[in-house]
Amino acid sequence: MGKWLRPMAYIGIVWSVIVVAYGTLPSVNRVAAEYFGYALALGVLWWIFVLRRRLTEGKAGTPDHKLSVSQQIQE
């Protein structure tokens, strides 16, 4: 996506928050909103303490280089 990756990612995040808020904020769905809040907090903590480090070390995410044919066969 090139230069459009970040703007589209932000739009996707905002849209997701709107959809989740619409589904969980009515007074009938207070329990769903509470559970969503817990899941969101857990996901943020996991990103802060685990995933962010793995991404910067290159242990998670897509590789920065193309794999050779022998490396592709091994996977």
Domain boundaries, the chain: 2-74
Contact 36, 30 (CB under 8 A): no
Contact 54, 60 (CB under 8 A): yes
Question: Which residue's entry shows tokens 């996707």?
Answer: 12
Distance CA 26, CA 13 (A): 21
Distance CA 9, CA 13 (A): 6
What is this structure's pTM? 0.54
Distance CA 12, CA 6 (A): 10
pLDDT digits (tens, 9 = 90+) for 11-43: 999 999 888 888 777 777 778 778 888 998 999
pLDDT digits (tens, 9 = 90+) for 45-58: 999 999 999 888 88
